A and B are shown apart, each in its own frame.
Chain A
Amino acid sequence: MRVTPLRAFDTLTSRLVLLPIDDVDTDQIIPARFLTALERDGLGKYLFADWRSMPDGSPNLKFVLDRPEVKGASILLAGANFGCGSSREHAVWALMDWGVRAVVAISFADIFRGNALKNGLLTVELEAEAHTELLRVARKDPLIELTIDLPAQVVILPNGRKFGFPIDPFDKRCLLEGIDTLGYLLSFSAEISAYERRCEQA
């Protein structure tokens, strides 16, 4: 059983969790001491564990994640190079278990992006100008809602401004149709066997 089923993604309208910091690494998203998990689910409580709590263990309300205005929000707005560092897919599982369905950033680390898309977590890369505008609007009113329209590849701000974002066509198709990439790979079994035979003969 897949604990985090691949859900088809279409459009999403949600409030934002603002974390406009560059180079957020996966050790921050979920610290290594929580990686002894044997399952994919239940990791949301460890999301940003060390930023969320004070040294004495009490909640750190200076950090965005436990503030009342982000309750129920499912879009995280980050800076550049989000998800750098370790390859741990636990970072994606923790974000999704907490309730994040899309991360909007200037750029993503390669392994994180791949992990995210395979789990149905949408990564939206905005140009610097669009990112700045979104951040400006969101800082003025933390309760604004952003719409992400994946079929049209645009984000829509409450003031009506729209910004496009790129996405690999295959990744887009997988997200829209909820395609399981392992299933796609398995459909090439004959080609894989033929490749193996060619290598053994060489």
Chain B
Amino acid sequence: MSKPKTMLTKIWEAHVVAEESGCPSILYIDLHLLHEVTSPQAFAGLRSRGMAVRRPEKTVATMDHSIPTDGRPRSALPAEAAAQLRRLEENCRDFGIELYGWDSPKQGIVHVIVPELGLTQPGMTIVCGDSHTSTHGAFGALAFGIGTSEVEHVLATQCLLQSKPHSFEVRIEGRLPAGVTAKDVILALIAEIGVGGAEGHVFEYTGSTIRGLDMEARMTICNMSIEAGARAGMIAPDDTTFDYLAGREHAPKGEAWEMALEAWRRLPGDEGAEHERSVTLDASQLAPMITYGTNPGLAMPITQSIPDPVKVGQPSHRAALTSALDYMGLAPGQKLLGHKVDVVFIGSCTNGRISDLRQAARVLRDRKVAPGVRALVVPGSQIVMRQAEAEGLDRIFQESGAEWRQPGCSMCIAMNGDSLRPGEYAVSTSNRNFEGRQGKGGRTFLASPLTAAAAAVAGEITDVRKMLS
């Protein structure tokens, strides 16, 4: 009997092309995703070496980071953004890469469109010049973010030099209480282990709670693995995974589907396989979570009070908390319930899928966005947008007074003109509350779509559980 293997080890070993002693492995990449921001310098490198893209058919591109979401014509774009989008079009044309671009009915945030097109499949290695590539791990793929030099490596060789990360099991057991979602689970995990807590590791999420989640909720959890410092996050594929994939545009069909299923069922870790680290969370004890600081690890149950830096043991942590509260304009011991909100942002690769919009609509139906609050609902893709419109969610949002916008990264990264003004407070379903992330001087509270929609209605941070009865 060979030693039991984790899912990470199985996928890793299946993709090692070569290894030299004392050197990292040469790892084959099955799917390479591109967007406008982190690819231009990589293509420039290829051009200067006179090289082609090795496997253009294993590469797909979209426009998401700097694309406007207010329906403005292309002629109204800022010159720099327009030039970057044009450069992506030229590069994809010259190197033979499929681009879901400006006019494509399949355009959207890269981590939303690739799974919905059935391109993300169990057992794959997937990379993108974007840290939230961890999203795709929800399908039992090894998916991680890379820098632009590595984008160039993959374009040129379809491979990366990588050392095998350690496996970190996150076991989540129990039934989620009403009003508590996948976003609350991942915020609770990051709060528990810290923003750098999983460096050098890949999370494998296991347990009854994870098994009970649909694919979109699983993607929300894997998406934010990077916010705990993990290289990637993954979930073993099961019938939920296969049901999601069946019939999607790029999923295998017919006999190929049956063969794929057989291979995918062998992917989960062997009984007794050992992880280097592990942690367990009791989902039944969780409450809706919200961040109060300037990194995703500074999060707490929404009913609690902000911790006091004086009571934090480690000096560097104390300093970080003090400076975060200073930036946020918050005081130790303060409750966030009742704190005023200027903007609510519902969208992003974390929470911009149809189930997220349905949850927001559940709260906004027959209610009004509070006076003085600007609420933006940004679908993650054209496909999500059309689905939402077919279900009438757009009307629910608009009747409540929220803005129904075009797909893109939007105010998650504030590169496209959708941004906070200095000093504004936002409740956001995105993934990062770093200083200035949503606009210079803007202040972000990260939360679930339910909590964000509740804040839009109340005009202040509120406990959504009271609105759901």
Could you list which residues of chain A lie within 8 angstroms of chain B, going by C-beta atoms?
1-2, 20-23, 25, 27-28, 31-33, 35-40, 50, 55, 79-81, 84-89, 92, 107-111, 114-115, 118-119, 168-170, 181-182, 184-186, 188-189, 191-192, 195-196, 199
Contact = CB atoms under 8 A, between A and B. Distances in A.
A115 B149 contact: yes
B38 interface: yes
A199 B38 CA distance: 29
Given A109-B229, A114-B150, A27 B435 contact: yes
Contacts of B437: 27, 32
A108 B199 CA distance: 8
7 contacts: A21-B323, A32-B414, A36-B81, A37-B40, A85-B432, A89-B149, A182-B149
B26 A36 contact: no
A37 B317 CA distance: 34
A85 B159 contact: no
Identify the 5 closest CB pairs spanning chains A and B, nearest first: A81-B196, A115-B147, A36-B80, A89-B147, A87-B145
Contacts of B226: 85
Interface string B57-84: 0000000011000000000001011011
Given A23-B320, A87-B38, A107-B196, A185 B153 contact: yes
B157 A192 contact: yes
A2 B45 contact: yes
Given A27-B432, A55-B422, A22 B320 contact: yes
Contacts of B44: 38-39
A55 B435 CA distance: 13
B295 interface: yes
Nearest to B412: A32
Contact of B157 (A36, A189, A199): A189
B436 interface: yes
Contacts, number: 176
B256 interface: no
Given A80-B196, A110-B199, A191-B26, A185 B156 contact: yes
> Chain B interface residue count: which class?
35 or more
A35 B436 CA distance: 14
Contact of A22 (B161, B200, B317, B415): B317
Given A23-B295, A28-B434, A181-B161, A111 B147 contact: yes
A199 B159 CA distance: 14
Nearest to A171: B24
Given A21-B319, A110-B231, A169-B22, A89 B415 contact: no
A118 B83 CA distance: 27
A123 to B, nearest CB: 12
B316 interface: yes
Interface string B409-435: 000011100000010000000001011
Contacts of B145: 87, 111
B130 interface: yes
A39 B41 contact: yes
Contacts of A80: 196, 316
B379 to A, nearest CB: 21
Contacts of A119: 149
Contacts of A115: 147-150
Contacts of A85: 131, 226, 432, 434
A192 B148 CA distance: 21
B203 interface: no
A2 B129 CA distance: 19
A63 B81 CA distance: 30
Nearest to B51: A186
B449 to A, nearest CB: 22
A53 to B, nearest CB: 9
A170 B26 contact: no
Contacts of B81: 36
B300 interface: no
A182 B316 contact: no
A20 to B, nearest CB: 8
A36 B159 CA distance: 26
B1 interface: no
A35 B415 CA distance: 8
Interface string B32-64: 000001101100110010000010000000000
Given A33-B415, A38-B40, A23 B161 contact: no
Nearest to B297: A23
Given A80-B316, A85-B432, A89-B148, A23 B84 contact: no
Nearest to B228: A84
Contacts of B40: 37-39
A82 to B, nearest CB: 9
A81 B159 contact: no
Interface string B134-166: 000000000001111110110011111101010
B436 A109 contact: no
Contacts of A195: 17-18, 28
A191 B226 CA distance: 31
A47 B382 CA distance: 35
Question: Which of A21, A23, A107, A111 has the most C-beta atoms of chain B within 10 angstroms of its own C-beta?
Answer: A23
B195 interface: yes
B26 to A, nearest CB: 5
B229 A110 contact: yes
A69 B79 CA distance: 37
B347 to A, nearest CB: 16
Contacts of B265: none
A37 B415 CA distance: 12
Contacts of B147: 87-89, 92, 111, 114-115, 118
A168 B162 CA distance: 12
Contacts of A21: 316, 319-320, 323
B390 interface: no
A182 B199 CA distance: 25
